[in-house]
Amino acid sequence: MILLRRFAALGALATTLGISAPEARLENGLARTPPMGWNSWNHFGCNVSEQLIREEADAIAASGMRDIGYRYVVIDDCWQTARDARGEIVADSARFPHGIKALADYVHGKGLKFGIYTDAGTKTCQGRPATLGHEEQDARTYAAWGVDYVKEDWCNAAGLVAPTQYAKFRDALAHAGRPIVLSICEWGSNQPWEWAPPIGNLWRTTDDIGDNWASMLSNLDQNAQHAAVARPGAWNDPDMLEIGNGGMTDDEYRAHFSLWAIMAAPLMAGHDVRTMSPSTKAILTNAEVIAVDQDSLGRQGMLVWESPPELQVWAKPLADGSRAVALLNRSSAAAKIAASLPRIGLHVDSVTVRDLWAHADRGRFGKEYAVEVPPHAVVMLRVTPVKR
Ligand code: GLA
C-alpha cells in the first residue's frame, strides 16, 4: 500500500515540478503561504485556560517565534461548556474568567493573531457543544470576538456530508465579515483534497499525529499523496508539529520540521513555548528552513527518488528556480544518499549547494551531491542553478 502510494507520488511529480493545475481555492485572500502559529492540543489537550494562552502568547513574542513568522495562537478543544438560552456558545467561565474577547484582545496586543476550535457535528471530539445548526451564529460570535482562524473538527458528524457542512461554515464566516482562516479537520476521511480547496485554507489529510518517528513518517507518506493540489491559499495539512514535546530525538525533530517545510505544510507548533529548550528553539526558528515552507511559489514538494524503503530524496521547487531538497534516512544505520540534479528537477550543468541545518555553503557541484546521513535524520539543502 505504502509503495503504491509512493508510485502515485512519483507519477504526479511532473505536475508539481512543472505544469500548474487549474486554480481552485478559497478566495478569502488569506494563507497565501502556509499558516504558522501555535496550537494548544498536542501538549496541553483539554488543560487550557486564559492564563495558559496568555503565557504562551507572551513566550511566542519574547522568544522570537512571533517575529520569525509564528502568528496564529489557537485554542483547541475544551474552551467551551454550553449554549445559553439564545443559543450563544458559552466559554468555560472558571478557565476563561474574562471571556474569549478579552483573551483575543490580549493576543492581538502582543502582535499575534487569535484562533479557536469548533466541530461541524453535534459535539466536539471532547464532547463539548459544537456548531451544527449554529453555523451563522457562531461565525458572527467569533467575528465579534476578533477571531482570525477557526479549526473545524469532524467528530459526532454521523450522517452529515463533509463538503456541504464545511461549505456552510465557509459561507457563514464570509457573512460574518471578518477575514478568518478556515482550517478543515476531518482527518482525510472524506477525500478533502478533492473538494476542500475552494472551501478551506487548509485541510487535514491524516489521523492525529503522535510524538514519535513512526507516526510522523506515516503522516508524511499520506500527506505526500496529494501534493499536486496544494497552492497559495489552499494547503494539505499533515497535522501540527510535535517538536519540543520529548518523544523524538533532535535529529528526528529536525527531520519532522524539514519534511513539513518541503511539503509546504502549515507550521503550527504544539509544545510548551514557556519552557522550550535551546535545541527546540533552534529547530523551530531555523529561518532557512522556514523560508522553504513559506516560499512564494507555493508548491508542495514530493518524493523524487528512493531506495525502498528507507532512503529517500524529497524536492520542492522554489520561486527563484532553486530546489529545496531533503535527503531522508528512515533506517537505523547511517547511509550515503545522493541528490542527482535531474532527479530533483534541475537540468543544468552545475549548482551551488547550501546545507540549511549546518548553515554552511557546500560549494559547486555538477551531476549530483551525495552525503552521509545519520540514522533517523535528514540533510536539508538548497540547491541553486549556477547562471552561465
Ligand atoms: C481531533 C483533532 C485533533 C484535536 C482533537 C481535540 O482528534 O484531530 O487535532 O483537535 O480532536 O479534541
Q: How far is the CA of 179 from the centre of ligand 1 (A)?
A: 23
Q: Which of 77, 138, 153, 293 is catalytic?
A: 153
pLDDT tens figures, 272-299: 999 999 999 999 999 999 999 999 999 9
Residue having the nearest C-alpha atom to atom 9 of ligand 1 = 208
Cis peptide before 342 (omega within 30 of 0): no
Share of the chain above pLDDT 90, in %: 92
* pLDDT computed for residue 308 by the predictor: 82
Does ligand 1 come within 6 angstroms of the Cβ of 76?
Answer: yes
Could you tell me the distance, in angstroms and rounded to a whole number, from the CA of residue 229 to the centre of ligand 1? 24
- 76 carries an active-site annotation: no
From 58, 105, 171, 208, active-site residue: 208
- Positions in the chain short of pLDDT 70: 1-24
Q: What predicted TM-score, i.e. pTM, was given to this entire model?
A: 0.94
Per residue in 341-357, pLDDT (tens digit) is 999 999 999 999 999 99
Cα separation of 183 and 154, whole Å?
11
State the distance from the centre of ligand 1 to the C-alpha of 308, rounded, in angstroms.
Answer: 32
Ligand 1: residue whose CA is nearest its atom 3: 208
Length of the chain: 388
Yes or no: say if 202 and 184 are a contact pair by the CB < 8 Å rule: yes
- Backbone torsions φ then ψ of 156, nearest 5 degrees: 50, 45
Distance of CA 129 from the midpoint of ligand 1 (Å): 14
Q: Which of 125, 128, 183 is nearest to 156 (CA)?
A: 125
The answer, yes or no, to whether any atom of ligand 1 lies below 6 A from the CB of 182, is no
Pocket-testing residue among 76, 183, 189, 223, ligand 1, by greatest number of atoms within 8 A of Cβ: 76
Q: Which three cell numbers stand for residue 330?
A: 528512515
Closest Cα to atom 6 of ligand 1: 77
**What's the rounded Cα separation, in Å, for the pair 251 and 374?**
8
Ligand 1 centroid distance, CA of 39 (Å): 11
| Cβ–ligand 1 contact at 208 (below 6 Å) | yes
Query: How many Cβ atoms from other residues are within 10 Å of residue 265's Cβ?
Result: 28
125 Cβ below 6 A of ligand 1: yes
For ligand 1, atom 11, the nearest C-alpha belongs to: 125
* Predicted local distance difference test score (pLDDT) of residue 330: 98
CA atoms of 370 and 111, how far apart (whole Å):
43
Is 151 within 8 Å of 113 (Cβ atoms)?
A: no
The position carrying cell 503522516 is: 219
From residue 124, alpha-carbon distances to 49, 168, 268 in Å are 17, 17, 20
pLDDT at 23: 55
Ligand 1 pocket test: which of 116, 149, 153 has the largest number of ligand atoms within 8 Å of its C-beta?
Answer: 153
Calculate how far, in angstroms, residue 121's C-alpha sits from the geometric centre of ligand 1: 13
Q: Residue 24 has what pLDDT?
A: 66
For residue 52, report the distance from its CA to the centre of ligand 1, in Å. 19
Catalytic residue at 153?
Answer: yes
Radius of gyration of the chain (CA): 21
Angle (nearest 5°) at CA 155 between 154 and 157: 75
For residue 307, list its beta bridge partners. Answer: 311
Ligand 1 within 6 A of CB of 126: yes
DSSP labels, 97-157: TTHHHHHHHHHHHTT-EEEEEEESSSB-TTS-B--TT-HHHHHHHHHHHT--EEEEE-TT-
Please report how many Cα atoms fall inside a 13 Å half-sphere around the Cα of residue 290, on the Cβ side.
19
Q: Given this model, what pLDDT does residue 26 score?
A: 82
Spatial distance between the Cα atoms of 310 and 332, rounded to a whole number of angstroms: 9
pLDDT 10s digits, 156-169:
999 999 999 999 99
pLDDT value of position 263: 98
- Whether residue 268 has its Cβ less than 6 Å from ligand 1: no
Q: Which atom of ligand 1 is nearest to the CA of 240?
A: 9
Per the CB < 8 A criterion, the answer to whether 383 and 325 are in contact is yes
28-69 per-position pLDDT tens digit: 999 999 999 999 999 999 999 999 999 999 999 999 999 999
- Backbone φ, ψ for residue 332 (5° rounding): -100, 20
Backbone φ, ψ for residue 209 (5° rounding):
-70, 150
State in Å: Cα 382 to ligand 1 middle.
34
Q: How many CB atoms lie within 10 A of CB 375?
A: 15
Q: Does ligand 1 lie within 6 Å of residue 41's CB atom?
A: yes
